[in-house]
Structure 1
Amino acid sequence: MPLLSNVVGFSLFGLATRFYQLGIQRRNLFENPGGHVIAMAVFGYGGYWAYRWDIRAAELLALKREEIRQRRGQVAMTADE
């Protein structure tokens, strides 16, 4: 579910960006729906990439925390001796 909400949220942001772009140019908002689809697809892919990045970053942080925990345990054991 988080993946779907992330992709949909980013794609809606892409649609809003497209509407803003056409609004600045004072063009008809419903003139070329293909442009809206392209903008939504590009931003949706960005949302997918951001979701995958978040998952990978969490995995890397967990690994790094485990390494730090192990090193601190080794240092504590050598300090006790």
Structure 2
Amino acid sequence: MSMLANILGFSLWGLAVRFGQLGIQRRPLFENMTGHAIAMGVFGYGGYWAWRWDQKSVQLIEQKKVEISERRKERVARMEAVAEKLGLEQATSEEH
């Protein structure tokens, strides 16, 4: 999801929360527009940080996948070396 869509979505959610708050208090919805702007700004900023966290988590997951793949390759190489060594030892013990 793009950054702009994330920020706008969270901002609109902030506006909906503000309307819900004023509705519960039975106050006029369009009396204080500054409060709406503040709620939208705060929630939009939260949307920006949610987008950044999503980007960072994708990067961390990709890094972990690479690390796991490298460890698996090393483990397979060690297992093949051990199997080869055991195979050679068995062949030499069968000759005697």
Cα RMSD for the two superposed structures: 0.9
Distance 2:21 2:51 in 1: 26
Structure 2, unpaired ranges of 5+:
82-96
User: How far 1:26 moved relative to its partner?
Assistant: 0.2
TM alignment of 1:1-81, pairs within 5 A: 2-81=2-81
| Large movers: runs of 4+ above 3 Å | none
**Greater relative contact order: 1 or 2 (C-alpha under 8 angstroms, separation 6 or more)?**
1
| SS of corresponding position for 2:37 | helix
Q: TM-score, normalised by structure 1?
A: 0.98
Give how far 1:80 is off.
0.5
1:31 deviates by 0.9
- Structure 1 letter corresponding to 2:66: E
CA distance in structure 2 between the partners assigned to 1:64 and 1:7 by the alignment: 28
Output the amino acid matched with 1:13.
W
Task: Give the paired residue count.
Answer: 81
Superposition deviation, residue 56 in structure 1: 0.2
- Higher-Rg member (1/2): 2
Instruction: Give 1:67 deviation, angstroms.
Output: 0.4
1:32-63 deviation digits (Å, cap 9, x = unpaired): 00000000000000000000000000000100
Unaligned 5+ residue runs, structure 1?
Answer: none
